[in-house]
Chains A and B, each alone.
Chain A
Amino acid sequence: MTSAQTSAQPASQLYPGQERFVAPANEVKLEAVDSVDEDAPALGMWQSAWRVLRKNPLFIVSGILIIFILFVALFPSVFTHVDPRYCNLSNSLRNPSAGHPFGFDQQGCDIYSRVIWGTRTSVSIGISTTIFVTLFGGLIGAVAGFFGGWVDTLLSRITDIFYGIPFLLGAIVLLQMFTDVDSIWKLVATMTLFGWTEMARITRSAVLEAKNLEFNTASTALGSSPARNLFRHVLPNSLAPMIVIATLSLGQYIVSEASLDFLGVGLGGNTVSWGVDISNAQTLIRTNPMVLFYPSLALAITVLAFIMMGDAVKDALDPTGRTA
């Protein structure tokens, strides 16, 4: 393995494609390789993930963005004093002016104020849907994977059936019955109903894997009940893939909400929402593209932040992809 042996071989014995770089043996001092602090406490999965995360620029950028977005969603009045629902037709499509940096839309509403207030709608729909999908899909998947047998067969078939309905199609068929309801909860409920299957499948396979680990058998031998085993040992060890799927899909739910608004089966005119504003601005793209641009930009930045966060979390929680 030393460089002396390799370089001692005559060059004529090397075949094409075999020319490989061999590091000289004295390049890394042995002390440097062995300089691991053996007395340091062992890091758990979450601590080691946090160590990787906080060094990841993707995490830092998306983290700052998400904190900012959450702040805007919680305290929109810090950023604007203009009422997003105050619309004056005489202001229709007016250019930006002092106090109204983005100008006015067709109804004469202040675009900046609507973009700021719309954050709350999109973010609360995205977060609520993710929470319900994680709880419901996670429960179904965990029960199916943990108990196995006919419970697994039944729950897996139900999952297959809901998985067989395309998300957008199912959502439109259900939502068109409730076009007169103007509440974010109808969207949260619909997206949960047609979106929980992936979470259930991921959780089921993670639980199946964790169930057969030794500590679970040990815990049973010590007299733990199945329920205690599930909640104390199996679920905490299957959380990583669930968290990855949850963060990555949060952005997708925000996009879906806007798409359903666009198709006219989402929120009504009384809720301030980016999706509704983009949908209303679609006819103006040739004359006033900026009316379409601002809510789209806000939507894109929000979704981008959550997807980047999902990528960073995925890198941190999955040690197989780690190179160093």
Chain B
Amino acid sequence: MGKYFWHRVLQAIPVVIGTTFIIYALVFLLPGDPVKAMFRGKAANPAVEAQIRSQYNLDKPFIVQYLLFLWNALHLDFGMTFSQQSVIDTIGRAFPVTIKLALMAFVFEAVFGILLGILAGLHKGTWYDGVILVLSLLLISVPTFVTGYLLQYFVGVKWGLLPVTASAAATFNDLLMPAMVLGSVSMASIIRLSRSEIDTNKTADYVRTARAKGMSNYSVTVRHILRNSMIPVVTYLGQDIGALMGGAMITERIFNIQGVGNLTYQAILRGEAPLVVSVVTILVLIFVVCNLLVDLLYAALDPRIRY
């Protein structure tokens, strides 16, 4: 396990460098000048423009810009936004909201996804298996923003059960409906995944052996079928934490939540390249770290993976 651990951790380093480089290149090498965006097309004083270019290192060759960015990012120094606020403070204000939203969505999709998946998988062919399957297919085929607007309209506006949009404080009640919307597609995937896993494992050789030994139905189900079916589900859940942070962009826009998704979206619209690069870099880091943790957890759960 120790060797595998270091192997995987060392493998993650080139991935982090590669992903940040691609994001950096996408933002700064493609057409579109961030300084021009800052002045919104108006002609700027050349001296001021030169000063801004040197502040954001835009006067240096691309590769030097990137290395300086990477070096500063290691010290958590992401520079200033166009309105001369510290980028790390701006992100720091938005992050807790998105983390809260993503965690609530995560708990929602994990609990309901696994429960409904087990229910359907163990009783395949019953009427409630059919209902659960149709529900999961519907949630996957309807885009999140349609689900979001429908829920907002019915639960928020018509029935008045939950707040229509989130307040600046982003309380538990404010985020309940957005979290359900954000987690709904992944929940449907988890239902489908655990259902098919359970269905495959029900006829596995080791289950037949366990039954032949005379193990009770309860023990066979819990110790053999469920435990083995949950390994891929855990992997999916782990990889989903990072994806939820990215997917929050749509949900945060519908419910007007002042989180990272909204911040990134606004920054992209304003062409505020330094802020975009910083936020996306942090999100990518979270995504890579989550994938790494899942791989390590996987190795701990399933001894066949280790080498």
Q: Which residues of A contact B (CB under 8 A)?
A: 15-18, 157-158, 160-170, 172-174, 176-177, 251, 255, 258-259, 262-265, 278, 282, 285-286, 289, 292, 296, 299-301, 303-304, 307-308, 320-321, 323
Jot down 13 A-B pairs with beta carbons below 8 A, ordered by A.
A15-B214, A166-B242, A168-B247, A173-B23, A173-B276, A173-B280, A177-B26, A263-B253, A285-B150, A286-B153, A289-B153, A304-B141, A323-B203
Complex-state Cα separation, A17 to B276, whole angstroms: 61
Contact A177 B32 (CB under 8 A): yes
Complex-state Cα separation, A169 to B279, whole angstroms: 10
Closest 9 A/B residue pairs (Cβ): A17-B216, A161-B18, A166-B246, A303-B141, A164-B19, A304-B141, A169-B246, A296-B146, A177-B30
Q: From A18, which residue of chain B is reached at the shortest CB distance?
A: B214
Q: Mark B209-227, 1 if CB is under 8 A from A, else 0.
A: 0000011110000000000
Given A17-B217, A166-B287, A321-B200, do A173 and B26 touch, yes or no (CB 8 Å)? Answer: yes
Specify which chain A residues have a CB less than 8 angstroms from the CB of B143 in the assembled complex.
255, 258-259, 262, 278, 296, 299
Contact A160 B283 (CB under 8 A): no
Q: From A176, which residue of chain B is reached at the shortest CB distance?
A: B268
B288 near A: Cβ within 8 Å?
yes
**B232 → chain A closest CB, angstroms:** 14
Contact B250 A263 (CB under 8 A): yes
Total B residues in contact with A, Cβ cutoff 8 Å: 55
Contact A173 B18 (CB under 8 A): no
Which of B14, B140, B144, B245 touches A259 (beta carbons < 8 Å)? Answer: B144
B62 near A: Cβ within 8 Å?
no
Specify which chain B residues have a CB less than 8 angstroms from the CB of A258 in the assembled complex.
143, 145
Which of B146, B214, B287, B288 touches A292 (beta carbons < 8 Å)? Answer: B146
**B37 → chain A closest CB, angstroms:** 11
**A128 → chain B closest CB, angstroms:** 19
Which of B18, B138, B141, B149 touches A164 (beta carbons < 8 Å)? Answer: B18
B230 near A: Cβ within 8 Å?
no
Which of A160, A167, A173, A285 touches B153 (beta carbons < 8 Å)? Answer: A285
